[in-house]
Amino acid sequence: MAHHTVRARVAAAALAAGLAVGPRLLPARADDTAARPRPAMGQLAPAARSDAPPSSRDLVDARADMQRRFRSLLAHAGTAAAARAAAETLLQEAIDEPDRNLKWLMLEESRRLGESAGQALIVSRAIGLAAASYDFDAIDKELRCLQQMPLRGLDAQRAAALATAAGAIATRAEADGRTDKAVAATLLAYRAWQRAGDHEAARRAATRHDGLLRAREPEAATKRAASEQ
C-alpha cells in the first residue's frame, strides 16, 4: 500500500512540474506547424502609408503659430528676392518641424512664395518634401503649380529651371503610366525652353511631346472601347 502511495506522489509531482513549465516552453512538433493555417493576403495588416494633408480646421492653430514665428519674415516677402529668401527659410525650418499641421502649412507657404517668385525649384522641393510625409497627388499638384507661373515674367534662368522641373514631372508621370500628365508636362517644358532661348532643348521637348501623343492614342482607343462595352 505504501508502495502505491509513493508512486502516486511521484506521478502527481511530475504532472505539476509539467504544468509549471507551461505549453509555451514546449517545442512545437513539425506536423503542428504545418497544420497551422497561414493568414490570407487580405488578412495581413496594410502597409504603413503617409497621412493625408490636414484639413482647414486642423490648420487654424497652426496658422496662428506660423504667423507668430515668422511674422517679420512673411511681412517683408513682397519682392521676388525676399519671397525666395522667405520660401527657402520656411523649407529649411519645415524639415525638422515635429508638428505635422504646422509642417504642412510651412511647406504650403514656401511653395506659394516660390510660385510667386517664379522659382520652380522651390516649388518642386516644397511639394517633394510634403509628399514624403503626406498622402496626396504630388504629380498633379506640382504640374498645376508650375502651369500657373507666368512664363512671360521669367528670365532665361528661371524659365530654364521651370523647363527642367516640368521635364522631371513628365518622367515621373510616364513611369506611373499617366500619359496625359506626361503630355501636359512636356508641353510646358517645350514652352519654357522656348522662353529660355534654348532652341535645341525646346526641339527635344517637342519630339518627346509628340512621341507621348502617339503613345496616348492606343490608350485612349482602349478606354473608349472599354466604356462602350
Query: What phi, psi does 135 have (nearest 5°)?
Result: -100, 105
pLDDT of the residue at 56: 92
Render pLDDT for 125-169 as a digit per residue (tens, 0 to 9).
Answer: 999 999 999 999 999 999 999 999 999 999 999 999 999 999 999
Q: Say whether both 63 and 132 belong to one domain.
A: yes
Q: What is the pTM of this model?
A: 0.73
What CATH number did the domain enclosing 159 receive? 1.20.58
Q: Within 10 A of 48 (CB to CB), how many other CB atoms are there?
A: 5
Instruction: Give percent of the chain above pLDDT 70.
Output: 73
Question: Does residue 193 sit within a domain?
Answer: yes
Q: What is the mean pLDDT of residues 76-88?
A: 95
User: CB-based contacts of 197: which residues, under 8 Å, 6+ apart?
Assistant: 156
Taking the CA atoms of residue 143, residue 149, residue 154 and residue 160 in that order, the dihedral angle to the nearest 10 degrees is 0
Q: State in Å, rounded, how far the first CA of the chain is from the last one.
A: 90
Q: Say whether both 87 and 158 belong to one domain.
A: no
| Integer Cα distance of 192 and 203 in angstroms | 12
Q: Say whether both 164 and 131 belong to one domain.
A: no
- Residue 81 is part of which domain span? 55-136
* Residue after which a domain boundary falls, among 136, 170, 187: 136
Q: Say whether both 91 and 161 belong to one domain.
A: no
| Integer Cα distance of 149 and 142 in angstroms | 11
Number of domains in the chain: 2
Q: Say whether both 166 and 126 belong to one domain.
A: no
Question: Does residue 147 sit within a domain?
Answer: no
CA distances, 121 to each of 55, 114, 145, 221 (Å): 26, 8, 12, 36
Question: Does residue 13 sit within a domain?
Answer: no
* Residue after which a domain boundary falls, among 136, 164, 186: 136
Query: Cell 507668430 identifies what position?
Result: 68
- pLDDT above 70 for 4: no
Tell me how many degrees the CA angle 224-228-229 measures, rounded to the nearest 5.
Answer: 120
- pLDDT above 50 for 198: yes
| Integer Cα distance of 45 and 150 in angstroms | 46
Mean pLDDT over the full length of the chain: 82
Q: Say whether both 120 and 175 belong to one domain.
A: no
Render pLDDT for 94-131 as a digit per residue (tens, 0 to 9).
Answer: 999 999 999 999 999 999 999 999 999 999 999 999 99
With CA atoms as reference, report the closest residue to 181 among 162, 214, 209, 201. 209
Cβ 159 vs Cβ 196: under 8 Å: yes
| Integer Cα distance of 157 and 166 in angstroms | 14
Q: How confident is the model at residue 51 (pLDDT cuts 50, 70, 90)?
A: confident
- Under DSSP, is residue 134 helix (H, G, I), strand (E, B) or coil? strand
| Integer Cα distance of 208 and 205 in angstroms | 5
